[in-house]
Amino acid sequence: MDDRPFTALGRQIRVVGTGTWQLGVDQGEVGLDEAAGTLSCACQTGVNLVEAADVYGDGRSERFVGRFLAEHPGAGLAVVTKTGRRLPPTPESYSRDNLLSWNDRSRENLGVETIDLAQMHSPPSKVIEAPRVWEVLDNMVDEGRIRAYGVSAETCEQALQAIGHPGCASVEIIINVFRHKPLEEVVPAARETGTAVLVRVPLPEGLLSHNRRRSTDGTPPRFDPAAAVDAGRIFTVVPEDVGAQAAREFAGLCRELVPEHVHPVQVALRWVLDQEGITCILPEARSPHQARFNARAAALPPLSRDMQAAVTDLYDRLIRMHVHNHW
């Protein structure tokens, strides 16, 4: 598996990482033993970055990673966690005392003195604009609590605000075959500053695997920017029939322009990896099979120019009008 530089950590990071959200969110939990097997398998494929968050399972994901690190001291994993959602997302919540308390809790959960990367977890814009927050994060680096910090952003505007701060080591944002705006606005700025770009939701929420979440009556959920779980999700703004058509057309492009026997989901992951300036993607991995499946996407050759152009055309024709003005 290829790797790419993560400047602030002073090391190379493999292009595919893994997250642990499945250990504590409402989409369905994964048992600890199964999760350990999955993470072990991911490491065997070359993965060397794992991401948790202090609110995933109320710390369950961090404690799982901590247990895994203790049992696999030579795994060489870069550990990322996200913080800031334990209280309502207001500027007042991001006080010095709270940031330090959250960091203490995360370090205890993870069993480490120093967290490699701590990212603010979808903070409001006013937090990103506040110099006092950045000062606390800088102090945490100086004190050895964290090696680097970044922002997991909901919008391109927020990501650009974060990149504008010289100490910001990373931005995490949604990019996939049906979410191109960050490629146009965020990634070029990150390349100029040497900011790492971590990609969450590198697949368009089940549109390519026919696993799109619906409301109880079978219709897509209405867009509600205040709904934390659905914030930034494509299924909230793309009509059902349009999403289905886009998925069918993408599958057709895969059959026409990609070597035989490559699954459209792997093609979609390869498409993200082909975009210049991406450091690491964080696809879902709920089983060893999925971990190996994701790694095989990284082993594919780069997609052809014709396929790249066809994906851009598909986005421009069907998706851009619904998605591009959000986030």
* Better pLDDT: 56 or 214: 56
Q: What is the pLDDT of residues 243-292, one digit of tens each?
A: 999 999 999 999 999 988 899 999 999 999 999 999 999 998 889 999 99
Look at residue 26 and tell me whether its pLDDT is greater than 60.
no
Per-residue pLDDT, averaged over 45-60, amounts to: 92
Per-residue pLDDT, averaged over 125-154, amounts to: 97
Per-residue pLDDT, averaged over 32-36, amounts to: 83
pLDDT at 207: 67
The per-residue pLDDT of the chain, averaged, comes to: 89
User: What whole-number distance in Å separates Cα of residue 285 and Cα of residue 36?
Assistant: 11
Question: What dihedral do alpha carbons 284, 288, 293, 294 form, nearest 10°?
Answer: 40
Backbone angles phi, psi at 151, to 5 degrees: -135, 130
pLDDT at 138: 98
Cβ 37 vs Cβ 5: under 8 Å:
no
Q: What is the pLDDT of residues 93-136, one digit of tens each?
A: 999 999 999 999 999 999 999 999 999 999 999 999 999 999 99
Q: Assign 326 a pLDDT band (cuts: 50, 70, 90).
A: confident
CA angle 133, 225, 247 (to 5 degrees): 115
User: What whole-number distance in Å separates Cα of residue 104 and Cα of residue 112?
Assistant: 10
pLDDT at 35: 84
Look at residue 81 and tell me whether its pLDDT is greater than 90.
yes
Cβ 272 vs Cβ 199: under 8 Å:
yes
Cβ 68 vs Cβ 36: under 8 Å:
yes
Q: Assign 206 a pLDDT band (cuts: 50, 70, 90).
A: low
User: Closest Cα to residue 296, out of 47, 32, 40?
Assistant: 47
Q: What is the 3-state secondary structure (H, E, C) of 149-183?
A: EEEECCCHHHHHHHHCCCCEEEEEEECECCECHHH
What is the dihedral sign for C-alpha 315, 207, 59, 70?
negative
pLDDT at 231: 45
Strand partners, 172: 152, 198
Domains of the chain, CATH where assigned: 3-204+266-302 (3.20.20.100)
What is the dihedral sign for C-alpha 285, 286, 292, 296?
negative
Provide, rounded to the nearest whole percent, the portion of the chain with pLDDT above 90.
Answer: 74
User: Closest Cα to residue 275, out of 193, 179, 208?
Assistant: 179
